[in-house]
Structure 1
Amino acid sequence: MALVLTEMTQQIGTLTMNNPQKRNCLSHALIEDFFAALDTFERSKMRVIILRASAGSKVWSAGHDVHELPRPGRDPLPYNSPFEQLLRRVQDYPDPVIAMIEGGVWGGACDLVLTCDIVIGCETATFAMTPAKIGIPYNPSGMIHFINVLGLNKAKEMFFTAAPMNASEALNLGILNHLVESDKLESFTRGLAEKIVGNSPLAIRALKEEFRLLSKGHPMDAETYEKIGAIRRCVYDSKDYCEGILAFHEKRRPQFKGE
């Protein structure tokens, strides 16, 4: 079974995640198919990309495949990991990428959604940033995505509580550009994509690159960067990290001790 399905019509490429048995978790295999699809879309000169799950999905994506996280003592989200490469590929894709959301978006999948250029969801869309439930220290580039969209305090709440945010709150906070009824989700998303296709491709590409560069206007000194690395190492070297991963595999609530 293909983990990703693709369609190309009227210069719009649609990528559908197709692994419902694993809740479309962002496994290395699915990410590899994701890359192949984006490469095909770019070669075929698709002007807009739509990312989606299958119609009626209760979970858009469960985020990282926890089974593929590295053993304790290694950074679970290094710069060269497949997931981080995927985020950069979506961010750097030359044309607009629209996330069409139906169902729950968990963990790293929230980061993927925020990396997209436009996000459209229906009333079943929810967003939960869950690394604290497993004991994973998230990486600085990902946290900046959340701060840029939600603001500092709301980003803190989302990470600290790991509680799901409903579609209405996501709209109010700017995660969703549009909240539409589920039976109109596909037609609305398609209509917005067609509006983009009708505009100047050179101007759209230039605008996307400008937005990408301007959004990176947050300089960080070397000492602060090194300090963040040390803070994260304390977590992924910890007993709590081992307990979080073990509890996930054993399908029980972790017993964190702060050690």
Structure 2
Amino acid sequence: MTDAPDTPAPAASTTDPMVLTSIVGAVGTITLNDNARRNALSAALLDAVIGAIAAFEAKSVRVVILRAAPGLKVWSAGHDIKELPRGHEDPLGYGDPLERALRTIRSYPGPVIALVQGSVWGGAFDLVLSCDMIIADETSAFAITPANLGLPYNTTGLLHCLNRLPLNLVKEMFFTANPVKAEQAAKWGIINHLVAAADIETFTTELATHIATKAPLAIAVVKEQLRVLTDFQPVAAQVFERIQDMRRAVYESADYEEGISAFLEKRKPVFRGV
């Protein structure tokens, strides 16, 4: 189960790899390949993404494209809800597979470009936002959905959003959990380029190939400088502890249990603020 609304998905063999990879010149492509589960961000899928990126780094791939198969209505349905811990454990702790994947993408010594066709839900929004650029077509939409689950999003994820998007948009997306459609996503700067579906693969490949001709050491150091400057914001110890206490109160609440249970039972949750 995932963050996206329940819709039919295409069948796939259990022997299919979680991701497909290819390298053309200095550009590597990772294609999410768990189509039967709408590319739910399970530990297995995220581990496969991390492994593919590590393999690309070992081969000095200069630019990475992260995508789903063309023609899908859902690019990724978000975090696998069944894998979220319940009870007294932080559902988005430092060692969570999604958090590890985000750090891997953000620390890759070359640009990672998200090619988005279809809707992006929940934790998958954090995934594409952690890429260096987002190229999307008219079928794309973006939603961040912890309010549907009673889930306290982590500070790291909020900073990812605040570093990329206006505060009022971040609040609207988190408070409503409504998807932002392609045209609005372009207006708000969620995506770098809105490109017609017929042209998006060519456009993205040409952009990645062009970047790959530039000086890789210069690009790597600029990317790392920007990551450090945006990620390492000082927070007083007592402020961090207060935030963690506030989050703990949420993931130990009856509302969080109700949100997960309602999602798994395919019913509307009843949140009581306790």
| TM norm structure 1 | 0.98
Aligned-pair CA distance for 1:218:
2.6
Aligned position for 1:119: 134
Match of 1:17 among 1, 7, 32: 32
Does residue 77 of structure 2 align to residue 62 of structure 1? yes
Q: Map residues 1-259 of structure 1 onto 2, 5 A cutoff.
A: 1-216=16-231, 218-259=233-274
Once the two structures are superposed, what CA deviation does each residue of 1:49-84 show, in whole Å capped at 9, x if it has no partner? 000000111111111100000012211000111111
Q: Secondary structure at 2:231's aligned position in 1?
A: coil
Q: Secondary structure at 1:182's aligned position in 2?
A: coil
Contact 1:52 1:101 in 2 (8 A): yes
Contact 1:119 1:178 in 2 (8 A): yes
Structure number with the higher helix fraction is 1
* Deviating 4+ runs (over 6 angstroms): none
Once the two structures are superposed, what CA deviation does each residue of 1:25-63 show, in whole Å capped at 9, x if it has no partner? 110010111111111111111110000000111111111
Contact 2:88 2:251 in 1 (8 A): yes
Once the two structures are superposed, what CA deviation does each residue of 1:175-217 show, in whole Å capped at 9, x if it has no partner? 1000000010100000100110111111111111111112135
Runs of at least 5 residues in structure 2 that lack an aligned partner in the other structure: 1-15
Q: Distance in 2 between matches of 1:225 and 1:196?
A: 38
Q: Distance in 2 between matches of 1:158 and 1:88?
A: 23
Q: Distance in 1 between matches of 2:243 and 2:191?
A: 29
CA RMSD of aligned residues (A): 0.9
Q: Distance in 2 between matches of 1:65 and 1:93?
A: 24
Q: Distance in 1 between matches of 2:236 and 2:273?
A: 29
Q: Distance in 2 between matches of 1:36 and 1:25?
A: 17
Runs of at least 5 residues in structure 1 that lack an aligned partner in the other structure: none
Aligned length: 259
Q: Distance in 2 between matches of 1:235 and 1:156?
A: 18
% same residue: 51
Aligned-pair CA distance for 1:149:
1.4
Contact 2:73 2:118 in 1 (8 A): yes
| TM norm structure 2 | 0.93
Q: What amino acid sits opposite 2:148 in the alignment?
A: K
Q: What amino acid sits opposite 1:242 in the alignment?
A: E
Contact 1:243 1:255 in 2 (8 A): yes
